[in-house]
Amino acid sequence: MDFLNWSQVFKILSMERCFPFFKDAGLPSAIINNPQPLATCAKEFHLEFDATLTNPATRPTSNEDHLKIRQEILDSTFEKIGLAYNLETAKALHSWGLRYVVNRTEETSLSLWHELFLRLCKVIRKDEPVIESQLNSQDLELICGQVQQYLRSENHKFILQQTWSAELAPLTEWEEWLREDEQRGVGDLKTILGPVKTATSYFNAIIINYATWQLWQELPKQLSNQTIEKLVAWGREQVKNDYQNVVEFLQAPPFE
């Protein structure tokens, strides 16, 4: 369990100004169509944890008790989400949270693949050389066609515009509570950006990673296993060449 990262998940899902991003971020359709119950559950997650820590009668006195309470609150939150929607939606949300926030290996891997695809197809330029791949021209053309569909630069610009616009509205009463909670450091959520900027930054990254995940769902349908292996081998060599110490974060598909 990574309670800190789950806290961030429920923090960004609790803010109504982020509702318009839910579809592009790949959240379950039941939540996209009716986000308010999820926001309520997300708020209760933070309020319950805050009440537990600030009440002398319930404040944990040992690390073991602290971990137990965190797990109980997390489990209870997903139970509430299951009741508010259904069990399938709760499970899908759990997978979503793991993929894009909690599981840093997969989140980092998707971010790396986003950059790799753009460099492979010469959509962006970097000072570091692009290692030549073993892909034939037909496969490379197919891959780059899918990259153009899923990772268009104009989509990214639109996302940045939308997230920037979302930051302009005044803080809601709930967001004021989150800001004060951060300043107190309660709930392990103290940041330097504030709740709104933190949330929009997360969604900006998640939307891009979701598009990359969608791309990886599509490529194995159109390419042979051998071609996928060549693509992954190229990606690993490119990351090793560029970053060296983060090559272990580059997962091979398919992403669950």
- Token reading at 211: 């598009």
pLDDT of residue 190: 46
Q: What percent of the chain has pLDDT above 90?
A: 62
pLDDT of residue 242: 75
pLDDT tens for each residue of 20-47: 999 999 999 999 999 999 999 999 999 9
pLDDT of residue 186: 47
Closest CA to 150 of 213, 228, 202, 220: 213
Q: Which residues of the chain register pLDDT less than 50?
A: 186-190, 254-256
